[in-house]
Amino acid sequence: MKSSQLKKLKKRFKKNHTQTHATPYIQQLEHYRDEYDPFPSIKYLINNALENDRLIKRGLLPQPLPLMQLPDDIQDTIFKWVNQHYAAQDPKGDALWNRLSAGLPKLDHLLRNFRDYLEDEYGMWSYVNTAFVHALSDYLKGAPVLEVMAGNGYLSKGLHDVRPQQTIYTTDNKDWVKENETGKHPVTTIEKLSAIDAVDKYGRQVEYVLMSWAPDKGESDLALLQHLRDHFPQLKLLVIGEKNGATNSKAFWQTAKLSQPDDLKAVNQKLHSFDLIDEQIYLAK
């Protein structure tokens, strides 16, 4: 796919969630799970979304996801199934084929927008899954950590659940509370501090600073990077986001010196994309 086409898809992908909830999202998925019951490849995707929604509702981190898109050959699969179960020219078979075929674009739209649902419902932007958190915890080896721009604190909570004795300071300025679900459903205690104020307060008590899904509006991420360079060069900044994409400012990606050493690549493998967003973890200097 050409880069220009991919950018258009991503823009459309980010804006679609306003159209997703005429009927509640989960209710729609449950309907399609029943509708496409004979087709395991479809039920597998839907059940992944439903199960991870249940986990998050219970205050648990979700599991890794497969690519949340319908298989390219799904229409052929459905057509063959209908022909195997209905005689040619059977009006019931024709009606079923028309209904199942017509529902595929709507279902594909829902699956591709699972991240939008998580943003709207839970304020979960980065997909903080259990495999990733365990790998990141192994990478950090219990070192004290400061998380800035933490949102609802999924990352900090996950790390704390893996290593309860690890020192983790979780902070966010909570400016986004009035705009979306970020900050409305905290899963751990979050101290109201800007990123720079948080570093000034805790920078001499930690080894790592975590910044996940910094907003692409403004340049608070760049200001943090420069502050670390000027005043806390000993700190290691770990950034989770999509380079030159859905997260962080353009100036940040242009300025930051990014690296992914082998031990961090192992962590990144657990953050594989399930949609059009290619989020990764980097060391930034």
Asked if 103 and 146 sit in the same domain, the reply is no
Looking at 94, 122, 150, which one is the last position of a domain? 122
Number of domains in the chain: 2
The DSSP element (H or E) to which 169 belongs, if any, is strand 168-172
Asked if 156 and 84 sit in the same domain, the reply is no
Asked if 213 and 240 sit in the same domain, the reply is yes
| CATH number, domain containing residue 158 | 3.40.50.150
Q: What does the pLDDT read at residue 174?
A: 83
Asked if 159 and 27 sit in the same domain, the reply is no
Asked if 276 and 153 sit in the same domain, the reply is yes
Report the side by side order of strands in the sheet with 191-192: 191-192, 168-172, 145-148, 208-212, 236-241, 280-284, 258-259
Looking at 122, 156, 183, which one is the last position of a domain? 122
**Exposed e or buried b for every residue in 46-70, given b needs 16+ CB within 10 A?**
bebbeebbeebeeeebbeebeebeb
Gyration radius of the chain's alpha carbons: 21
Asked if 203 and 232 sit in the same domain, the reply is yes
Q: What does the pLDDT read at residue 23?
A: 81
Give the domain range for residue 24: 3-122
Return the structure tokens found at 32.
């399609």
Asked if 194 and 118 sit in the same domain, the reply is no
Q: What does the pLDDT read at residue 182?
A: 55
Asked if 276 and 137 sit in the same domain, the reply is yes
**Residue 128 to residues 132, 143, 176, 243, 255: CA-CA distances in angstroms?**
7, 19, 19, 17, 26
Asked if 205 and 228 sit in the same domain, the reply is yes
Q: What does the pLDDT read at residue 185?
A: 81
Asked if 92 and 220 sit in the same domain, the reply is no
Asked if 169 and 275 sit in the same domain, the reply is yes
pTM: 0.87
Looking at 122, 141, 168, which one is the last position of a domain? 122
Q: Encode the chain (285 residues) as per-residue pLDDT tens digits.
A: 344 444 444 444 444 444 444 589 999 999 999 999 999 999 999 999 999 999 999 999 999 999 999 999 999 999 999 999 999 889 999 999 999 999 999 999 999 999 999 999 999 999 999 999 999 999 999 999 999 999 999 999 999 999 999 999 999 998 765 665 555 789 999 999 999 999 999 999 999 999 999 999 899 999 999 999 999 999 999 999 999 999 999 999 999 999 999 999 999 999 988 999 999 999 999
Asked if 138 and 110 sit in the same domain, the reply is no
